[in-house]
């Protein structure tokens, strides 16, 4: 065996000399899903932002590593006293990657395009409050809102609100042109997307010369890709079960952070018997979050008691409201007249958190007499049957959009939840900009959702980041789904 290894290693050396060693300022990043196209303003797929956000495209504002709003193309802004007029002062000397100048006209174009009647921007709601966008001078934009909106600056930091140029907006899907520190170089479909440093960048220059996003679809292939050195970073590592193995390897850094993904057991609130509060509460008591987290996320998730990330300032710990209690669950079912239990279906989309978590939840609910039939579905089916047609009893899904507690107040949303008190709080929240008042309102909102046991709140999806120990500057948390490479560098 030893001789064999010597021979083979010698052969390896001969072969390896033919391959070019990676230059120290290049980086290969593994991503698990390929973006369908490269225009962040024209699709909901997180994979688009994971490649382009902050790297190629920039907005008026941007979201920082901890979810804070930072200035981006707008260097500063003022807000009128009634909270309705925002005046943005833009950076000077900014150029798009095709060499054209960036100015206030591009801002007006981008925002008007996103909110136009025929717009297919996936987050059109972000722009709903905008009444007019005016160009004051080439470096100043004035945006007037229909009503004050406390989240407006945050909204302008989404990937869906990035600034594009009129000349290239139509071709960004294939050949994205932005103002960011990296420009697009090539896309080998199914294999990789390559960005290179933009020398004409207006801001602080980035350390990397080249960043290649390599598409590694199979979770089992992620570990060998890292170990062989083909890929040097997986900011969203797809295989939590292998984390222990990699943690012991000094060549790699493993960083467990928080996402904005509230993983929940969604309940169809209008469908009997789930329209009864006792039944929903019984389900909450029947759930053993620890067992679910251990089984479905390798013990890495953080339990939640309502729809808010524990990393958020407004978070209120409500996990103690429904401790795991089988007796209590049975009692509540009895009160609801279901002492003999009942049958229901549990539709599970493809991600492991749903498929693995679903098995565990089904067995936990069986302990209190609820007999679940598991129905695995694809995403397309899930969106069609569960989300659009609301043809479901229970399902498991992670709501990954940031600050999305307002989904419970949306008319016709798939939870089928309707509570005027809650709707009022969300409406007030939208009009409140005082920080302390906002926190109080968000706290109340969380409390109502927990009291009503609208859904089974499970855990916050962890962000498992794995990268070469010589790399630094990656985001630890994922306040939005992005791989901001602007601060990433090799330390030697």
Partner 1 sequence: MTVYLLKRLAIALITLVLASMVVFAVLEIIPGDPARLMLGMNASADQVELLRNQMGLNAPLPARYLHWAGGLLSLDFGRSYTYSVPVIDLVRERIVVSLPLALIALALSTIIAIPVGLFSAGRHGRAGDTIAMGAAQLGVAVPNFWFALMLIYLFAVWLRLVPAGGFPGWSAGIWPALKSLILPAIALALPQAAILARVTRSALIEVLNEDYIRTARAKGLPYRAVLWRHALRNAMIPVLTILGLQFAFLLAGTIIIENVFYLPGLGRLVFQAITQRDLIVVESVVMLLVAAVIAVNLLVDLSYAVVDPRLRSRQ
Residue 485 beta carbon to partner 1: minimum distance, rounded to whole angstroms: 20
Beta strands 394-399 and 252-267, pairing class: antiparallel
CB atoms within 10 A of CB 403: 16
Stretch that binds partner 1, among 268-276, 379-387, 415-423, 457-465 (CB under 8 A): 379-387
Using CB under 8 A as the criterion, what x/- string covers residues 201-230 for binding partner 1? -------------xxxxx-xx--xx-xxxx
Among all chains, which residue has been given the structure tokens 């004409």? Answer: 200
Query: Is residue 62 a contact residue for partner 1 (CB under 8 A)?
Result: no
* DSSP symbol at 22: P
Residue 467 beta carbon to partner 1: minimum distance, rounded to whole angstroms: 16
Q: Which is nearer to partner 1, 139 or 225 (CB)?
A: 225
Helical (H) or strand (E) element with 79: strand 74-79
Helical (H) or strand (E) element with 215: strand 210-215
Q: Is 386 exposed, middle or buried (0-12, 13-18, 19+ CB in 10 A)?
A: buried
The residues near 208 (Cβ < 8 Å, ≥ 6 apart) are: 25, 26, 27, 182, 197, 485, 488, 489
Which residues partner with 140 through β-bridges? 89, 137
Among 100, 103, 119, 140, interactor with partner 1 by CB under 8 A: 119
Beta strands 342-348 and 394-399, pairing class: parallel
Stretch that binds partner 1, among 2-10, 53-61, 103-111, 149-157 (CB under 8 A): 2-10
Query: Is residue 12 a contact residue for partner 1 (CB under 8 A)?
Result: yes
Query: Is residue 70 a contact residue for partner 1 (CB under 8 A)?
Result: no
Query: Is residue 6 a contact residue for partner 1 (CB under 8 A)?
Result: no
Among 23, 24, 191, 244, interactor with partner 1 by CB under 8 A: 191
Query: Is residue 250 a contact residue for partner 1 (CB under 8 A)?
Result: no
Q: Which is nearer to partner 1, 43 or 369 (CB)?
A: 43
Stretch that binds partner 1, among 121-129, 143-151, 336-344, 484-492 (CB under 8 A): 121-129
Query: Is residue 381 a contact residue for partner 1 (CB under 8 A)?
Result: yes
Q: How many residues bind partner 1 (CB under 8 A)?
A: 53
Per the CB < 8 A criterion, the answer to whether 236 and 33 are in contact is no
Using CB under 8 A as the criterion, what x/- string covers residues 170-189 for binding partner 1? ---xx-------------xx
Per the CB < 8 A criterion, the answer to whether 279 and 333 are in contact is yes
Query: Is residue 363 a contact residue for partner 1 (CB under 8 A)?
Result: no
How far, in Å, CA of 364 to CA of 283, rounded?
9
> Within positions 258 to 297, which residues make up the interface with partner 1, using CB under 8 A?
none
Phi, psi of 66 (to 5 degrees): -115, 20
Q: Which is nearer to partner 1, 343 or 411 (CB)?
A: 411
Among all chains, which residue has been given the structure tokens 């160009």? Answer: 135
How far, in Å, CA of 264 to CA of 394, rounded?
10
Stretch that binds partner 1, among 6-14, 338-346, 435-443, 450-458 (CB under 8 A): 6-14
Residue 118 beta carbon to partner 1: minimum distance, rounded to whole angstroms: 6
Query: Is residue 116 a contact residue for partner 1 (CB under 8 A)?
Result: no
How far, in Å, CA of 451 to CA of 422, rounded?
11
Query: Is residue 17 a contact residue for partner 1 (CB under 8 A)?
Result: no
DSSP assignment string, 363-402: HHHHTTTEEEEEEE--HHHIIIIIIIT---SEEEEEE-ST
Among 6, 23, 24, 44, interactor with partner 1 by CB under 8 A: 44
DSSP assignment string, 317-359: --TTSS---HHHHHHHHHHTT-TT-EEEEEEE-SSHHHHHHHH
Per the CB < 8 A criterion, the answer to whether 352 and 296 are in contact is yes
Stretch that binds partner 1, among 33-41, 139-147, 276-284, 441-449 (CB under 8 A): 33-41
Query: Is residue 9 a contact residue for partner 1 (CB under 8 A)?
Result: yes
Query: Is residue 238 a contact residue for partner 1 (CB under 8 A)?
Result: no
Query: Is residue 409 a contact residue for partner 1 (CB under 8 A)?
Result: no
Q: Residues interacting with partner 1, by CB under 8 A? A: 5, 8-9, 11-12, 15-16, 18-19, 34, 36-37, 43-45, 118-120, 122-125, 173-174, 188-192, 214-218, 220-221, 224-225, 227-230, 378-381, 383-385, 387-388, 399, 401
């Amino acid at each position: 065996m030893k001789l064999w290894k010597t021979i083979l290693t010698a052969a390896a050396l001969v072969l390896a000399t033919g391959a070019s060693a990676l230059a120290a300022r290049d980086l290969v990043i593994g991503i698990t899903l390929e973006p369908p196209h490269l225009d962040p303003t024209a699709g909901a797929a997180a994979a688009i932002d994971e490649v382009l956000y902050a790297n190629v495209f920039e907005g008026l504002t941007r979201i920082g590593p901890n979810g804070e709003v930072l200035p981006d193309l707008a260097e500063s802004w003022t807000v009128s006293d009634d909270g309705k007029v925002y005046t943005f002062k833009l950076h000077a000397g900014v150029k798009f990657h095709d060499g054209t100048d960036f100015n206030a006209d591009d801002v007006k174009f981008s925002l008007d395009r996103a909110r136009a009647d025929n717009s297919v921007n996936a987050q059109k709601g972000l722009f709903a409050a905008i009444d007019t966008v005016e160009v004051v001078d080439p470096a100043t934009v004035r945006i007037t809102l229909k009503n004050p909106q406390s989240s407006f600056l945050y909204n302008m930091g989404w990937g869906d609100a990035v600034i594009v140029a009129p000349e290239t907006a139509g071709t960004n899907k294939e050949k994205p042109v932005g103002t960011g520190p990296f420009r697009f170089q090539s896309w080998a479909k199914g294999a990789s997307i390559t960005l290179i440093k933009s020398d004409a960048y207006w801001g602080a220059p980035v350390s990397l010369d080249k960043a290649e996003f390599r598409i590694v679809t199979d979770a089992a292939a992620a570990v060998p890709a890292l170990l062989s050195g083909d890929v040097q970073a997986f900011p969203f590592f797809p295989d939590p079960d292998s984390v222990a193995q990699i943690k012991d390897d000094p060549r790699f850094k493993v960083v467990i952070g928080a996402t904005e993904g509230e993983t929940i057991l969604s309940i169809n609130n209008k469908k009997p018997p789930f329209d009864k509060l006792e039944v929903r509460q019984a389900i909450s008591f029947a759930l053993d979050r620890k067992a679910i987290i251990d089984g479905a996320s390798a013990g890495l998730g953080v339990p939640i008691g309502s729809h808010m990330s524990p990393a958020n300032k407004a978070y209120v710990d409500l996990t103690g409201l429904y401790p795991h209690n089988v007796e209590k669950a049975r009692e509540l079912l009895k009160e609801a007249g279901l002492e003999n239990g009942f049958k229901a279906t549990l539709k599970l989309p493809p991600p492991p958190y749903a498929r693995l978590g679903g098995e565990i939840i089904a067995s936990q609910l069986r302990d209190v007499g609820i007999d679940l039939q598991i129905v695995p579905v694809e995403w397309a089916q899930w969106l069609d049957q569960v989300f659009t047609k609301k043809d479901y009893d229970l399902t498991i899904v992670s709501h990954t959009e940031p600050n999305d507690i307002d989904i419970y107040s949306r008319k016709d949303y798939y939870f089928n939840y309707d509570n005027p008190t809650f709707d009022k709080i969300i409406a007030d929240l939208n009009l409140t900009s005082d920080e302390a008042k906002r926190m109080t309102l968000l706290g109340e909102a969380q409390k109502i959702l927990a009291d009503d046991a609208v859904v089974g709140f499970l855990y916050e999806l962890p962000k498992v980041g794995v990268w070469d120990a010589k790399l630094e500057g990656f985001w630890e948390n994922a306040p939005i789904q992005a791989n901001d490479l602007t601060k990433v560098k090799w330390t030697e």
